[in-house]
Structure 1
């Protein structure tokens, strides 16, 4: 299986779209899926505690950030990464978020059916081993045509 690890803010929501789902940016995700047969795993802060809750949230037009443009590919979403934290020992009341790359790597490690993947994110907190699969989008512009083309190349690369 091919997977797109998808962040929302800075990829398919931007300052220009007032951080609501942008139909033009989502169309680029659709183009990547059409060209690669990839599925989506949501690694965004928009994710909830389960796949079902996340899909409900991103397709509900009563949600402010969704507005009139619900996420158009709910059937392509096959998972959400887990939120991971580290605790300070012996002071366990302090916790720290782990880099998103750790959460993505955990998902990859526990889903052996993943043959190829791409990470679309405007943040840089990925692991070095993910560098060849990471596309750093522009925070203000979101995913671009060039980013989409790069994603297609990465996902269609033979191992």
Structure 2
């Protein structure tokens, strides 16, 4: 099984997109559909499963049902591209981390904790706009630019990395 650990902000949206889409954002639509099309190419060409490791995972219950309108929209736009959330990483945040928004301090440990639950992981990739302060994870990470988000170049690199062992 291949896993794509997906962050949302700075990956499926961007500062550039946000500035140009204030109306959509005011309607709770924080996802750039063009970025979702790029994501679908990665999934189509690698058969990777999506594991949310974004703060957005708190907007879904344990059965991955959306709890907020933003999450409903996100799930619907994914479904429109035949994409689904497979799972989400565990929560190791503290109140202080949530207040200071320093999620990068625990994201790598959350991913490793998730990976340790499974034996059948052939390959994994982390898409995030943050440095995750862990060499093991960074060896499997493509860091996006929060101003731009997911790009064609990243898609090609992601497909190559996720398919490295199978081709």
Q: What is the TM-score normalised by the length of structure 1?
A: 0.79
Give structure 2 stretches of 5+ with no counterpart. Answer: 19-24, 98-102
Gaps of 5+ in 1: 87-93
Provide the residue aligned with 1:29 in structure 2: 39
Partner of 1:112: 119
Cα distance, 1:71 vs. partner? 3.0
Aligned partner (choices 50, 53, 61) of residue 43 of structure 1: 53
Pair 1:52-2:60 in alignment: no
**Hey, which of these two has a bigger chunk of helix by percent?**
2
Alpha carbons of structure 1 residues 9 and 113: separation in structure 2 relative to 1, 3 Å: same
Structure 2 CA distance for aligned equivalents of residues 130 and 139 of structure 1: 19
1:83 maps to 91
SS of the equivalent of 1:112 reads: coil
Q: What CA RMSD, in Å, does the superposition of the two structures yield over aligned residues?
A: 2.7
Matched, 1:135 2:142: yes
Using the TM superposition, give the Cα deviation of residue 76 of structure 1 relative to its aligned residue in structure 2, in angstroms. Answer: 3.0
Task: Give 1:56 shift.
Answer: 2.0
C-alpha contact 1:51 1:78 (8 A) present in aligned 2: no
> In the alignment, what sits opposite 1:91?
none
1:101 counterpart (92, 100, 108): 108
| Superposition TM-score, scaled by structure 2 size | 0.76
Greater share of strand residues, 1 or 2? 1
Match of 1:71 in 2: 78
Distance change >3 Å, CA 104–CA 64, structure 1 → 2 = closer
Structure 2 CA distance, aligned partners of 1:126 and 1:29? 24
The 1-side partners of 2:146 and 2:116 are apart by: 28
Instruction: Give 1:90's aligned residue.
Output: none
The one of 121, 132, 135 aligned to 1:125: 132
